[in-house]
Amino acid sequence: MITDRINEVLAEVSGITADSAEALESLRIRYMSKKGIVSELMNEFRNVPAEQKREVGMKINELKTTIQDRISELRQRLSAAESDHSDIDLTRTPYPVRLGTRHPLSIVKNEIVDIFSRMGFAMADGPEIEDDWHVFSSMNFAEDHPARDMQDTFFIESHPDIILRTHTSSVQSRVMETTQPPIRVICPGRVYRNEAISARAHCFFHQVEGLYIDKEVSFTDLKQVLLTFAREMFGADTQIRLRPSYFPFTEPSAEMDISCNICGGKGCSFCKHTGWVEILGCGMVDPAVLEAGGIDSSLYTGYAFGMGIERITNLKYSVKDLRLFSENDTRFLEEFMAAH
């Protein structure tokens, strides 16, 4: 009998549940689709004798709305469960934790400082906004010395005496003012020069300055320390060569080349096919600089050297464009993930 079947389905429907959208969809198909149970009953309804049609028709309609109500109730429950975040622990550390990387210039700076501290050098520091005395005058640049033009200085407009330091040699001057020999310091820091920004030049970069002052310090000591540094930094096979040069604050002065780390000295575009690349300036501290720093130049001698950290980093990691160091492109920075 059709009414028995309707009651049976009604009882079944009161117990249905769905714990997923898929389960709910199969319930909808089972009861409400074209070939579903409700359609089946509608087909059977045609055979119901006329005098029962009214009663059976009402029963089928009741069944239909019951099923529809039940399905939409289940649908609502499912979407409420989806937006219910009560099972999320907000006190947990987010995962995965993205670790930052040390900047390549910091990695190389730390390595340089490490090498020199193993040779007995202590760290020293000084301001980036400096006065003319510490950057130039105490470093033996005369007032109208053309060497002042070697470095394009940024001036603080309202204070012609206050400038952004163009080299870390200003720290030498500050150390000498406050310390008597023996002095053995390494001074890393940022320096500024008014240059157009390109792949090979920037308006700021980083240097490491070294200074050693004591009795009987000679050029031989300088050479040995620099050779040791070059081999620690670039490998035991590294060769160095010193070429005579000029700096107001050292006499004699030299520039140091190392055998090209990229081609091993055979010649490549980085070393302009010479097999050598310049990495630093150095020399014996000019007696006038010692005196300006309050150190007796008849008792003491010293050497100094200064190198660009960007240059060392370029050589070590084949970075071809200086601008990469200050653009904060994480794709570039992440390449150094393994280096520290």
Residues near ligand PHE, by CB under 6 A: 167, 169, 209, 247, 250, 281-283, 304-306
Indicate the residue among 265 and 308 with the shorter CB distance to ligand PHE: 308
Q: How far is the CB of 151 from ligand PHE (least distance, A)?
A: 7
Distances (CA, A) of 79 to 12, 75, 168, 242: 23, 6, 65, 76
Q: Give residue for tokens 């399905």.
A: 71
Q: How far is the CB of 297 from ligand PHE (least distance, A)?
A: 16
Q: Give residue for tokens 């934790």.
A: 97
Indicate the residue among 241 and 273 with the shorter CB distance to ligand PHE: 241
Nearest one of 28, 340, 310 to 195, comparing CA atoms? 310
Residue with CB nearest ligand PHE?
Answer: 306
- Do the beta carbons of residue 170 and residue 192 sit within 8 Å? no
Q: Would you give the distance in Å from CA 38 to the centre of its chain?
A: 65
Angle (CA) 52 58 61, round 5°:
135
Q: How far is the CB of 89 from ligand PHE (least distance, A)?
A: 55
Q: How far is the CB of 308 from ligand PHE (least distance, A)?
A: 8
Q: How far is the CB of 260 from ligand PHE (least distance, A)?
A: 21
Quote the CA–CA distance of 166 and 150 in Å, as a whole number.
10
Indicate the residue among 192 and 276 with the shorter CB distance to ligand PHE: 192
Q: How far is the CB of 95 from ligand PHE (least distance, A)?
A: 47
Q: Dihedral, CA atoms, 103, 105, 107, 109, nearest 10 degrees?
A: -150
Indicate the residue among 238 and 250 with the shorter CB distance to ligand PHE: 250
Indicate the residue among 232 and 251 with the shorter CB distance to ligand PHE: 251
- What are the residues facing 186 on neighbouring strands? 123, 210
Supply 334's token pair: 């992440």
Indicate the residue among 27 and 313 with the shorter CB distance to ligand PHE: 313
Q: How many CA atoms lie within 13 A of 47 on its CB side?
A: 7
Q: How do strand 129-131 and strand 159-164 relate by DSSP bridges?
A: antiparallel
Indicate the residue among 173 and 250 with the shorter CB distance to ligand PHE: 250
- Do the beta carbons of residue 91 and residue 161 sit within 8 Å? no
Q: How far is the CB of 210 from ligand PHE (least distance, A)?
A: 7
